[in-house]
Structure formats: structure tokens, C-alpha cells
Structure 1
Amino acid sequence: MNVRFLKLLYYRIPNILKLLLIVLISLSFFGYLIYLIEPQRFPTPIDGIWWALITGATVGYGDYAPVTLFGRLIAACLILTGGGLIAFYIASISTTAIKREKKSQEGKLAFHGEDHYIFVGFNERTRQLVDLIIHYFSDKKIVIIDRTLNHLAYTKLPVHYIKGNATEDAVLHMANIKAAARVFIAADNQKPDYESDTHTILTTIAIRGNNPDIPIISEILSKKQIDNAARAGATTIIRSNDFMSSLFFHELDPEIQATPFEDIYHLLIQHKFIHHTVPDSLIGKTYLEAVIPCLEKGFLIIGVLREKEYILHPKTAFVLQEKDTLINLASR
């Protein structure tokens, strides 16, 4: 090991560890020195180092104390130097903790966890979604990427904020995109639909380029951009405008005496949709014959997906085929 390698290693060590190393070396030096000067009072070097630590920290147990003039001069030097080093080290730890917390709130701190959810864009809709995930999956780690917030004062854990543009590789690397479980890209409602969708598509391309296998849920506002989002690599495309328009149309129907918004809201909160391939035991069976066995397993069949065609609430005599997919509801 040459001197150049040692210097390189030293400069790569974080400053807080450098300071700790200096404190340990200084205390060890004074401890060994007092052991050489007063071996009767300090039988071993460990006793001397213990005395140096207690003296430098201004604790002063009194179990060890120098009696000679030279030993007391060493103690005075230790108090003036070692004590200052320890105080400076403790202050540095506090400063580092405060800086780290500030960087975390400002979105300048990289995330190093795995199997986490990444949310691109933070608004009221995203906040409610985060609350739901924390409620139902309390151990799931969440990373929020947003380019407009100066800081994220979010009190509920575990949420990690990163400030930046999710179309940039450096920002995605800060979010540890390669180890993430899935990504949700929220539309920016403060911009025109075309600009919002363009940014969503560019973000989808950047994410897919960094992680070819990760599921990406993209919110698209304009029908014209749905195909582009799919080509960009979106696994699921949320058409929020289509959904809300259909919901409003249902609310405006004068012949319907219901509360569709509340019904759908509570349905999605209390239940989840599950797709199952038709098991061999149900192939050739009617929809009515398949309902009871699935109910016994905790699933309610509400429809069938056949060759990308949704058949919801089929007739009781509807016959299930081999490649059909059952659309089920299951309790959370």
C-alpha cells in the first residue's frame, strides 16, 4: 500500500468519519502517553485511553487521575484539545443531521431502498392515493418525484421526496428506478391536455429506457395520445377524462335513482378487481354455474374478458370458454 493510495482512500472518506478518526487517534495518543508517564496509576494502555476519553468528554468519573506534574500537564493539553475535538465532533453530527433533513425536504437526497412505488407529480389526487397505500400497505415505501414543489412537508411516512424532472435519467437514478416495484405518472391538470400528455409520454419513455420490465401506470387526458402512450411503454393507461365524463353522464340520467359516484368510490375502497384465467373445471360451464364455486373462494364474478372484449354482467346461460378471463371482485 503506497502513500498515494492512502491519500486517495482518505479523501474518499466522509468528513464526519475523518473527524471521528482524528478524535480516536488523539485520544489514543494521550491515553498511551499517560500510560508511559504514570504506569503505576495507569497499568495498561486501555486504562490510559479510557481516562483520555472520559477526560476529553468532560465527564470525569475520577476512577483514574494523574498525580505527577507532567501527567497533569498532559491532562491540561487533553482538556484543551481532545475536549474541543469531541465537542466539535458532536456538533458536526448535529449539523449533518440537520442538513440531511433539509436536503430530504427539498428533494435533494437520493433514495436507496428497493421494491418501492414511484409517483411522478404531486397534487391532491396523488396525496389521496398515497394515503390509501399507506393505510392498506403500511410497509410499502413511496418515492414522489415533482418538479414544481420547493419542498414537500409531508408528515406521513414512509414517503421520500425528490425534486426534479422525471424525464431526466439522473432524477430517475436518484429514485432508484431499477429497483422500484411500479410507477404511477399523474397528469398535470395545470397545463393544457396536449402538453400534459406529451410530458407523460416522455416520462414513460425515460422510465421504460431505465427499467424495461417495470409496470408503468400513465394518466392520459386526450384520446389522441392513448396509442402514443402505449407505444411509449405504458403498461396501464388511465383515461381520467373518459371516466369522469361517463360518471357525470350517469349522474345526469333522470331515470336513475342512485349515487354512482359514491357507489364506485366505496366499491374501489373496500374491494379490488382481480383477473383470473378460467380454470379447467369451469370451461364449458355457464356463468350461473361458475358463480357459486367462485363465491366459495371469496371471488364475485362480474364479467368476462374475451379477446379484449369486456362482457360485464353476462346472461346466466353464457358459456365460458378456454381462453376467457374472469373479472372478479374480492374484498381487501
Structure 2
Amino acid sequence: MVVPNRVFISFLRLPLLARILLIALLVFLSFGVSIHFLEPETFPTIFDGIWWAIITASTVGYGDYVPNSFLGRLTALILILLGVGFVSSYFGTLAAAAVTKQDAFAEGRIPFKGNGHIIIIGWNERSKELINRLTNMNYPQMIVLIDETLEANPVKSRFVHFIQGKGHVDETIIKSDIEKAEKVLITADRGNDELQADMNSILTLLTIKGLCTQVKCIVEILTAEQVVNAMRAGADEVIQSNKLTSVFMINSLHSNGDGLLSNVIHQLQESRLTSSSVTEDVIGKTFGDLCQVLLSNGFLLIGIKRGEDTILNPALTFKIEESDELLTFK
């Protein structure tokens, strides 16, 4: 009695779809074998009987095998009553499972599995524009969007996986497959006051770094006072969006209203600012000479990063050293 009970308990633990399929297969097998022994002339092999049982239960009814005896027809009637119910239940459950899966995916309840993806936390106009540009590139990178305010994925793209939840909760971050992510961008929630938004961003950063210290995190900070705290929490890069906005405002106040800086930024949106280590052949060259070489290769050299200092547009006679990094637009 122990073995049958264990088998029955194991059967009950199977998913509903698997249980219905197993019962349907058992019904087909039983009636297929039964009809073979009831009418061996009409159904020469057990396979013929099973074939007939499946075709009959699925209401296809090819008519290639038809029982002739009373017991055979009674068996067919019972099969129709039982088999059709199981077949309908199976496909109905299958369809319901597919719809449920699709709804769960759209509502952000399905964990992401992959590697080399970018995680963006927070849905706002900035992240919306960023995701739009990333998904429209020639070779889009997979993006995982995490937000607690959305009820469904706002981006209709196969390159965006949505996860609904709070960014500072371990369970939410684990769903994003954080250990295999390339970068994380934490955007500020401007729905709160600036200090509270920064505190939420830093709390999210601490959660991420606590789960995966090696992933690169970029954090948007609104108040200058919290930049130090963000760096202490492990931020690899801090974006002071309010400071960038003030640069635009000052430029507009001191310009003739021609929007020159905005036009320049608009042109640079299609370009990428990159930093690269110098090679041996350029060590000792002047900034002016290197500008000409890189310009002929389609790169615009705008400055040098030396240690913690970033030098934009240095003198043309500025000498390139071994530890320098080149800041270029492509």
C-alpha cells in the first residue's frame, strides 16, 4: 500500500496540465487495448486500437476503423463521453496556461534569465527616451526595466523585459538576474522631494551592491550633498542631473537666445563619448598632432583624462603621457 500511495501523492504534485495529459493517455491506451481484444478482425493490432481511440476522442473521426459489435460500439460511446472531456480539458487548460503566462510576463511577474543586459530602475521621461534610443540601435541590447508604479510593460519591444516591484527589495533585484547584468542605471524619482528621491536611489544602490558587488552601477542624484553618500554606497558613476540642467540654463541666459548648446547636444546625441588608453605610438605627441591623426580616422578628440583630472580642449602643445586616457566622440 505504501508504493501506490507514494505514486498517487507524486501524481497529485504534478502540474494540472501534466495530470490531465497523463489521464488522457491512460484512457487512450486502455480503450485502444480493449477494442483490439473485443474486435481483433476490425482492429488487427493494439496500435490500430490506440489510433482509433485518439481519433475518436478528439472528434476527428476519419472512419478508417469502425466497431461493428455491440460491445465495440458501447466501448466507443463510453470513450466519446470520457475522452472528449479529457481532451477538451487538456487543450482548455493549455490555452489558459498560455494566457496566464502572457499576462504574468506583461505585468512583470516573470523573472528575467539572460546575461550582458542593462538594468534600468525607474520609469520616467528620461528612462523612456533612453530605452527608445537603445532599442532602436542597429544591435539592440537586452534591457530589464524595474518599476513599482507601472501595472504593465510600457514598451512594446522584445528587447525590454519588465519587472514590477520596488528596486530596494532583494526579491525584485534577484528577478533581474543581477549577477549576469552588464550595468545598472538607477534614475531619480522626481515624484518625491529631491532629498527623499536621492535617499531612495542610494537605498536601491545599497541593495544591488549587497547582492552583486561587481556590477557597474550608475546613479542619478539630484542634490549635491548626496553625491558623496552615493559614492560611499558603491556607485561607479554619479550623474548630477540638476547640475547638467543648470549648465543649460546658464548658457541660455548668456546666449542670444539661439539655443546653440541645445543644437550641439542634439547633434551629439547620435555620437558616443568614449575614453580609451593611449598606445605607445602616441606617447610624447602633442594634443594638436593627435587631433589630426584621430580626425582622419573619424574620431573627434575633445580632451584628456589624467588621473582624477579631466582636461577639456588643452593647449595644442600639451604632451600626451603614458597614463593618459583619450576622450573622443565617434
Shift of residue 316, structure 1, vs aligned partner: 1.4
The 5 A counterparts of 1:160-179 are 160-179=161-180
Secondary structure at 1:271 match in 2: coil
Secondary structure at 1:122 match in 2: coil
Shift of residue 38, structure 1, vs aligned partner: 1.9
Task: Give CA deviations for 1:145-165 in whole Å, capped at 9, x if unaligned.
Answer: 111223334323332222211
Shift of residue 203, structure 1, vs aligned partner: 0.5
* Cα 1:181–1:5 shift into 2, 3 Å: farther
Counterpart Cα distance in 2 of 1:231 and 1:179: 23
In structure 2, give the amino acid aligned to 1:293.
V
2:295: which partner in 1?
Answer: 295
- Range that drifts further, 318-327 or 27-36: 27-36
- Cα contact 2:143–2:159 (8 A) shared by 1: yes
Q: What is the aligned length? A: 329
Shift of residue 272, structure 1, vs aligned partner: 0.5
Shift of residue 317, structure 1, vs aligned partner: 1.1
Task: Give CA deviations for 1:306-327 in whole Å, capped at 9, x if unaligned.
Answer: 1221111122111101111000
* Cα 1:153–1:302 shift into 2, 3 Å: closer
Shift of residue 106, structure 1, vs aligned partner: 2.5
Secondary structure at 1:136 match in 2: coil
Task: Give CA deviations for 1:192-250 in whole Å, capped at 9, x if unaligned.
Answer: 11110111011011111111111111111011111111111211211111111111111
Secondary structure at 2:272 match in 1: strand
Shift of residue 303, structure 1, vs aligned partner: 0.7
Secondary structure at 2:136 match in 1: helix
1:235 aligns with 2:236: yes
2:212: which partner in 1?
Answer: 211
Shift of residue 11, structure 1, vs aligned partner: 4.5
Shift of residue 3, structure 1, vs aligned partner: 5.3
- Range that drifts further, 284-293 or 219-228: 284-293
In structure 2, give the amino acid aligned to 1:65.
V
Counterpart Cα distance in 1 of 2:38 and 2:70: 10
CA root-mean-square deviation = 2.0
In structure 2, give the amino acid aligned to 1:41.
T
1:88 aligns with 2:84: no
In structure 2, give the amino acid aligned to 1:291.
C
Counterpart Cα distance in 1 of 2:190 and 2:232: 23
Unaligned segments of structure 2, at least 5 residues: none
2:262: which partner in 1?
Answer: 261
The 5 A counterparts of 1:182-331 are 182-254=183-255, 257-268=258-269, 270-330=270-330
After TM superposition, the score normalised by the length of structure 2 is: 0.93
In structure 2, give the amino acid aligned to 1:275.
S
Shift of residue 186, structure 1, vs aligned partner: 0.8
Shift of residue 295, structure 1, vs aligned partner: 3.0
Task: Give CA deviations for 1:109-151 in whole Å, capped at 9, x if unaligned.
Answer: 2222333221111112211111111101554222211112233
* Cα 1:153–1:71 shift into 2, 3 Å: farther
1:70 aligns with 2:51: no
* Cα 1:249–1:320 shift into 2, 3 Å: same
* Cα 1:93–1:303 shift into 2, 3 Å: same
Counterpart Cα distance in 1 of 2:158 and 2:137: 13
Task: Give CA deviations for 1:235-282 in whole Å, capped at 9, x if unaligned.
Answer: 1211111111111111221368552123213302x1101111111000
- Cα contact 2:134–2:140 (8 A) shared by 1: no
After TM superposition, the score normalised by the length of structure 1 is: 0.92
* Cα 1:99–1:55 shift into 2, 3 Å: same
1:120: which partner in 2?
Answer: 121
* Cα 1:131–1:50 shift into 2, 3 Å: same
* Cα 1:153–1:305 shift into 2, 3 Å: closer
* Cα 1:115–1:23 shift into 2, 3 Å: farther
